Amino acid sequence: MFDARLQPWLRRVFEPPARALAARGVRADTVTLLGFALGVSASAAIAAGGFKFGLALILANRFADGLDGAMARATAPTARGAFLDIALDFVFYGLVPLGFAFADPQRNALPAAALLAAFLGTESSFLAFAAVAAQRGLKAPEFPHKGLYYLGGLTEGGETIAFLVAICFWPAAFPALASVFAALCLVTTLTRWRWGWQAFTPDDL
């Protein structure tokens, strides 16, 4: 919901370190893979009950996610980089609820399952829209630097990060917070379905 407004500020934050790393020969794909490793480690830490350490690793993952895009823009964005970025991001988002399910299966397993189903809806609608938009040559004017059509909604990246921070700060509230966020993700999915229905109306109708 707020990602488009955050983008100019985030670019100013990430561009200096991105240029410095690119000048030293560090590749954006390397940062993407390192960030994913941090995300996997965050899930493992949460599963073991280390919620604050897991939060630190989540924030490190998100920093790497912003940095790799800035590094790609400082050199030359690639299709492989765009693919890795979005594919690994979506797996990371699913690993965090999985970590909470392992941390306390009795209380967290069902809310985590509902949240994963909700994430499946937001992610599949995002990717389906992007795939058809690419076929039609459509671009997202709010996100001109993204490697594919970036579709917004009620629960975008900023809101999801805020949710991950909240559940790590208050792990006992995971069932309630996960249920609320899953409902918000459902709204996002339904909204995106509606946008796709309207945007891709057949020409003969």
Give the model confidence (pLDDT) of 165-197 as tens digits.
Answer: 999 999 999 999 999 999 999 999 999 999 889
Give the model confidence (pLDDT) of 36-81 as tens digits.
Answer: 999 999 999 999 999 999 999 999 999 999 898 888 887 877 888 8
Domains in the chain, start-ordered, CATH in brackets?
3-199 (1.20.120.1760)
57 touches 39 (CB < 8 A) = yes
Judged against a pLDDT cut of 60, whether residue 2 lies above it is answered with no
End-to-end CA distance of the chain: 31
Amino acid at the residue 38: L
Give dist(CA 95, CA 89) in Å, integer. 10
More confident residue, 8 or 76: 76
Helix then strand then coil, % of the chain, to nearest 5: 80, 0, 20
Give the model confidence (pLDDT) of 113-154 as tens digits.
Answer: 999 999 999 999 988 988 888 887 776 656 556 556 666 677
pTM of the model: 0.85
Return the structure tokens found at 204. 């003969």
114 touches 179 (CB < 8 A) = yes
Which are the contacts of 61, defined by CB distance < 8 A and separation ≥ 6?
A: 35, 36, 38, 39, 42, 92
Return the structure tokens found at 99. 């970590």
Amino acid at the residue 33: L
Judged against a pLDDT cut of 90, whether residue 205 lies above it is answered with no
Judged against a pLDDT cut of 60, whether residue 204 lies above it is answered with no
Give the Cα-Cα-Cα angle 38, 121, 66 (nearest 5 degrees). Answer: 35
